[in-house]
Structures are given as C-alpha cells and as structure tokens.
Amino acid sequence: MLNFRNALMGFTIVLAALLLADVFIRISPWFYPGIVLVMISLLTWGSMNVSSGFYMKMLCRGSLEVRSVALSFDDGPDAAFTPGILDVLNENCVQAAFFVVGSRADENPGLVTRIQREGHILAGHSHTHGFFFDLLSLNRMKQELTFTEGSILRITGKRIRLFRPPYGVTNPTVAKAVSSMRYTGIGWSLKSKDTVKQEEDALLRRLIKRVRPGDIVLFHDNRAITGKVLGAFIDHLRQHHYSVERLDHFLQIEAYAD
C-alpha cells in the first residue's frame, strides 16, 4: 500500500543506494535532485488527494453494491444560507452530515441546535478554517479541534467523533492531531464544486453526470447556489432509484462518543 511511511522508507533506501553506488562508480549529480523532486511530488499528491489514504485513513465512500448516497455540508453554519438548505432537506425527508466550523457554530448556536433537532449529524471542520490550517503546529491544530468539539458539546450536549480537514488537505501533523482526538477522518467521493460554479444548471448537470452508488457528496452550506440546486438533485436521485442515507448509517460508524 502506498502511504507516507512506505514512501519515506523507499526514498531512504534509494538515497542510501545512490550514495553507496557513488563510492564505487560515478553517479550523475542530477539523480539526487531528481529523486527529491519525485518525493516532493508524491508528498504533495498525498496531501491534496483526500481519498489517497497517504497520511491517514479517510472514509471517502460507501458500498458500491448499494444504490445509495450520503450528503455532507462543509463550512457552516451560515445564517444566510444554512436555513434554506435545512428547509430543502426537511421538505424531502433527507438527513445529512454538517461539518461545522467551530467559530461559526459559536456565532449561530440556534442553527447548530436546529441541525441536531432535525435529525442531521454534526462533525468537526476546525475552529477557524484558516487557509494555512495544515501548516499549524500539532498543539495549535489540536487546539482548533478541541475548541470545535467544545463548541458543539456546549450547544448540543454531543461529543463529536467525525472530522473533515479544511480543504481535504492532510499531512503527518493532521494525522497525529486526528488520531490524538480519536476522530474518524471523513472525506468525499463526489465534489459538487458549488464553491466555484456560478450557474445552477451547470452545477446540477455536473452532479447528475458524476453521481455513482456509494458516493459521499461534498456540498457547502455557505453558498446560495447550493440550496438552489439541492432539491432538484435529490429529485434526480430518487427518480433514478437512489436512497439518501445519513452519513453515519451509510458508513456504519458512530457520529458521537456519547
């Protein structure tokens, strides 16, 4: 299995072999920056590819054998857009997973309460969602996770056990922080692109074209376009005999510690 530990071991072995060979035969100096470049490329790929499992185990999809999907929402709760998304989910009797930003939960405790009351699950997505979250120290990163867990616990009485890293970026520090908190890492298999798509039809076409059994669909509940296409997407799923399951049931995992 290709992961960080195996890649680092392989890099070390290759580098040692080159150094040893250089003692007996002339090795082109270009070999050294070449293998370093390959390693950097591999580390970057593993960091940016949420489903790679390169640094840590991430659950990114359900069973391919069952015609069902799970819906997930990041970056909220947002006072302007989360209520409309909750309305659509409620009207369609669909339960979803909300990966909340702790500071936004503190600002919108009523929405957090509503999310729980209407049968959805809450999970962590850092406290500030900073652009350089993955570059934080381990202690600072654990603080972000702890603050978010504390915010949700104060509002709902529930201690979360699921976490999705901001931007889906992982590295050894993220892996250590998630492990230390005993969280389960959650990714996705279908990215809606609702943060970049400007036209509702284009977003809906993308979703309809790409959805497959077992998908965990990534949406954001801080975008106007999401609520505008969500109902039509759910209609499409049901017309094509998909069921929409809540993420914890979908993956057969526990969303809360108690």
> What residues act catalytically?
74, 220
Say which residues have a Cβ less than 8 Å from residue 31's Cβ, sequence separation at least 6.
18
β-pair partners for 160: 256
The rounded distance, in Å, linking the Cα atoms of 134 and 141 is 8
The rounded distance, in Å, linking the Cα atoms of 126 and 161 is 13
> Are the C-beta atoms of 48 and 190 separated by less than 8 Å?
no
Q: How many C-beta neighbours within 10 Å does residue 145 have? A: 23
> Are the C-beta atoms of 169 and 195 separated by less than 8 Å?
no
With residue 123 as reference, give the H or E element that holds it: strand 121-124
Structural tokens at position 160: 């979360």
